[in-house]
Amino acid sequence: MRTDVDLPLVVDRAAPLPLVVQIGDQLREAMRSGALKPGERLPSSRALAALLGVSRTVVADAFQQLYAEGWLDGRHGSGTYVAASGDGLGRAATGRRRGGGERPEDDPVMLAPRGVTAGIIDLRPGRPWVSGYDEAAWRRAWRSAGELAPSGWPDPYGHAELRELLADHLRRARAVPTGPGNVMVTRGTGNGLDLIAATIIRPGARAGVEEPGYRVARNVFAARGAEIVPCPVDGQGVIVEELPDDLEVLYTTPAHQYPVGGRLSIPRRERLLAWARRTGAVVVEDDYDAEFRYDVAPLPALHGMDPDRVVLLGTLSKSLSPDVGLGWLVASEGLLAAVARRRDELGDRTPGPVQKAVATLLERGDLDRHLRRMRLEYARRRAAIVEALGPLVQGDTAGLHVMIELPEPVVPDLVRRAEERGVLLDTTGRHHHGPPRVHGLVLGYGYASLADVKRGCAVIRDLL
């Protein structure tokens, strides 16, 4: 291992790209090309800043983004290193190993606790905090929906106005270079996944799902006649090298793997797309948890890296409310046309008034303001869990949940004793297709108030 690396970096203050981006791009290319090899130690941010004549903050920000993408690995008291195999060590920017996740919508088990008894603290994942909405904006949106004239037969693609607004939102928020011709308005992620499955799945086709992973995806594919193929994950998401070559479709959650919680690093994303191009498989990217991140900016969506091979699914069920019942499907124009024909045959549609209301929220900037408020709200609850449970917490860099990995025998008794003390918990076991590989708790902090999150975590800490 070389410890003194001669870095061929140059910064140009007259260039249009920010200095942080220039440094990050050059380091990334050096690691991709092999000029920087796995295990090599980089100069400290202070030394590199002095060498380049920039502030230390500029270098630190460039390092931070490369940490998030999986290119770098920090070793306490030792410095910053190129990640093993050029693919990171599966840790997010906070340095934790891996974490938990859960799906918010159309999962009947997760939506079951409708009538939770007063005084019960519900830390099961799956539902957002809906009390923080802007009442004036909400009323305004639905008044505009009431002005919409009835439609004789809705466009299977969705309203043109909303598709334009969603395309703009995805370009700004997720770096997806798309237009309205590539966007279909759906009733949520589950609906979008079923439309894709109904279009491309033939009886007996092999459909890959992450293991452990989102069980609704398994159910949707199975209902359309597919053979379910569990695909192992680690702290960085789906393991590309273990994907079989005969899959026709792969469902994945690269922004925040459900329920382990890692995010797919850039090198692994590139390998996944290379696998898809080689095998001809369609990759269905569920952009789950991309809205709420607590470390650095989210990584670009897979779809933006290969629009012809990747289908992108998104929803407002967690960012706004499951009541809205609206999502989107982004795909190549050819595939989207096939989905639209199939949708028309099935008589499936997204209600027009809902589309109009969401268009108003987007057009006026109300949805963006709501997301900013909720990021702050959820960040406080996430901080409370981390403070209470400390190093046990995994997967806290995104979303509305964390995971605590525990020995298998401990889990059932802990859940039972917590319920006796008024705290409802979820476990990782039910999220597997086969025998459970990961054991522990998936703690949701979207539905419970900040005070209840603190009280619930105190109970868990006492029991542990």
Instruction: Give tens-digit pLDDT for 25-60.
Output: 899 888 888 888 888 888 888 889 888 989 888 898
More confident residue, 239 or 90: 239
Average pLDDT over residues 257-282: 91
The pLDDT-based confidence of 62 (bands split at 50, 70, 90) is confident
Count of CB atoms within 10 A of residue 127's CB? 23
pLDDT-above-90 percentage for the chain: 52
Q: Is residue 95 part of a domain?
A: no
Q: Which of 135-139, 205-209, 293-297 has the highest mean pLDDT?
A: 205-209
CATH number at residue 81: 1.10.10.10
What is the distance between the alpha carbons of residues 189 and 154, in angstroms, rounded to a whole number? 20
Alpha-carbon Rg of the chain, whole angstroms?
23
Count of CB atoms within 10 A of residue 118's CB? 5
CATH number at residue 419: 3.90.1150.10
Whether pLDDT at 172 is above 90: no
Instruction: Give tens-digit pLDDT for 287-312.
Output: 987 888 886 566 788 999 999 999 99
Count of CB atoms within 10 A of residue 182's CB? 22
CATH number at residue 295: 3.40.640.10
The answer on 406 and 268 residing in a single domain is no
Q: What is the DSSP letter of 399?
A: T
The answer on 375 and 301 residing in a single domain is no
Q: Which pLDDT score is estimated for 74?
A: 65
Q: Is residue 215 part of a domain?
A: yes
Nearest by Cα to 262 from 213, 310, 304: 213
Instruction: Give tens-digit pLDDT for 377-410.
Output: 999 999 999 999 999 998 888 888 888 999 999 9
Q: What are the strands of the beta sheet with 310-315, ordered from one edge?
A: 183-186, 327-330, 310-315, 282-286, 249-252, 206-211, 227-234, 237-238
Whether pLDDT at 206 is above 60: yes
Instruction: Give tens-digit pLDDT for 229-246.
Output: 999 998 889 999 999 999
More confident residue, 195 or 42: 195
Phi-psi map region of 245: left, alpha, beta (phi>0 left; psi -120 to 50 alpha): alpha
Q: The dihedral of CA 101, 105, 106, 110: what is its sign?
A: positive
Query: What is the token pair recorded at 128?
Result: 């957002």
pLDDT-above-70 percentage for the chain: 89
Whether pLDDT at 105 is above 60: no
Phi-psi map region of 100: left, alpha, beta (phi>0 left; psi -120 to 50 alpha): beta
Nearest by Cα to 339 from 458, 194, 239, 148: 194
Q: What's at 324, amino acid-wise?
A: V
The answer on 127 and 162 residing in a single domain is no
Q: Is residue 46 part of a domain?
A: yes
Average pLDDT over residues 430-438: 87
The answer on 446 and 422 residing in a single domain is yes
Q: Which pLDDT score is estimated for 285?
A: 97
Nearest by Cα to 192 from 340, 41, 383, 367: 340
The answer on 179 and 39 residing in a single domain is no
Query: What is the token pair recorded at 444?
Result: 């949701």
The answer on 292 and 223 residing in a single domain is yes
Q: Which of 78-82, 112-116, 322-326 has the highest mean pLDDT?
A: 322-326
Nearest by Cα to 41 from 90, 91, 89, 7: 7
Q: Which pLDDT score is estimated for 118?
A: 55
Q: Which pLDDT score is estimated for 355?
A: 96
The answer on 295 and 239 residing in a single domain is yes
Q: Is residue 110 part of a domain?
A: no
**Inter-residue contact 183 to 308 (CB < 8 Å):** no
Whether pLDDT at 17 is above 60: yes
Instruction: Give tens-digit pLDDT for 108-123.
Output: 333 333 344 557 899 9
Whether pLDDT at 448 is above 50: yes
The answer on 343 and 244 residing in a single domain is yes
Final residue before a domain boundary, out of 304, 334, 364 = 364
Q: What are the strands of the beta sheet with 393-394, ordered from one edge?
A: 393-394, 401-405, 440-444, 426-427
How many helices, marked H, and strands, marked E, lie in the chain? 14, 17
**Inter-residue contact 277 to 309 (CB < 8 Å):** yes
Q: Which pLDDT score is estimated for 109?
A: 31
Q: Which pLDDT score is estimated for 56?
A: 87
Q: Mean pLDDT of all residues in the chain?
A: 86
The answer on 313 and 427 residing in a single domain is no
Helix (H) or strand (E) holding 336: helix 333-346
**Inter-residue contact 176 to 303 (CB < 8 Å):** yes
Q: What is 130-159 written as a DSSP string?
A: -TTS-HHHHHHHHHHHHTSPP-SS--TT--
What is the distance between the alpha carbons of residues 214 and 251, in angstroms, rounded to a whole number? 9
The answer on 71 and 207 residing in a single domain is no
Query: What is the token pair recorded at 144?
Result: 């505009």
Q: Is residue 7 part of a domain?
A: no
Report how many domains make up the chain: 3
Q: Which pLDDT score is estimated for 157?
A: 97
Q: Which pLDDT score is estimated for 96?
A: 33
Q: Which of 50-54, 91-95, 222-226, 420-424 has the lowest mean pLDDT?
A: 91-95
Q: Is residue 340 part of a domain?
A: yes
**372 phi and psi angles, rounded to 5 deg:** -65, -45
The answer on 314 and 181 residing in a single domain is yes
Q: Which of 127-131, 420-424, 443-447 has the lowest mean pLDDT?
A: 127-131
Domain of 445, in residue numbers: 121-132+368-463
